[in-house]
Chain A
Amino acid sequence: MEQKTKIHAENGKQELLITREFDLPVDLLFKAYAEPGIVEQWMGTKVLKLENRRHGSWQFETTDPKGNKHGFNGTIHEFEPGRKITRTFEMENGSFGVQLEFLEFESLTDDTSKLSIHIIFRSVALRDQLLQLPFTFGINMAHNRLEEVLNKLK
């Protein structure tokens, strides 16, 4: 099966490119990033604040399966509906520092669209650490999440 989500992480660079094509018109894709209620659903997080404007800020809070709360926040630098979002991203109490994210939304056809997320880290080491995080812990997280979804189906 073709992989829809692609990760481009060149060796020795402090950046990361995530791309994905969606069977959605670009407006709907953008909406999934702009509307707090929808962000909460697909990111599996609580949206405490999401000010979609230049100089606005955002704040999410995720509760892990053990009940620990994890905060994320950042500032929005550019917000152009249906086109792009430029923002910072920081994991609270984390050791990854601040990341700069460029999100670009592109219409491919009337019903398909593409999202490109360009993330810049302070250092190569921080990028590699973040990439390895799911390698170490993510499998458990994905399994828990899967379990959760399966339990709901019962």
Chain B
Amino acid sequence: MNLRRDVFQAIADPTRRTILLLVASQAMTAGAIAAKFDTARPTVSKHLQILTECELLRQEQNGREIYYHLNPLKMKEIADFVEPFRMLWEERFNKLESIMKQYKPDK
């Protein structure tokens, strides 16, 4: 059974965000990723597991090695989480604009 992991929970952690940034430039093995951190290897593995479970990372077998790739579709979901926030402001600013278009200064 899948654990319920969502992308927001995944990106709330700074180490996981750094992993995403690393993998964004090129696919990497768990070992290569772990080498970039001072933290223990199992800790990094745990982070990779979480990122994979919520589909931000994809694993691909290449010979004996497993490479981690970024999943652009899931990353788009993160970009879209800002959308409701943007809509809220869009709505407010539209209101501001229409109010000020009607505005008549006091003489």
Contacts and interface: CB of A to CB of B under 8 A. Distances in A.
B93 interface: yes
Interface residues on A, range: 35 or more
Interface stretch (B25-33, B37-45, B57-65, B78-86): B78-86
Nearest to A124: B14
Nearest to A115: B93
Given A7-B85, A125-B12, A134-B85, A24 B101 contact: yes
Contacts, number: 90
Interface string B47-87: 00000000000000000000000000000000001111111
B14 A41 contact: no
Interface of B: 8, 11-12, 14, 17-18, 20-21, 81-97, 99-101, 103
Contact of B8 (A24, A44, A132): A132
Given A43-B92, A132-B8, A142-B88, A7 B99 contact: no
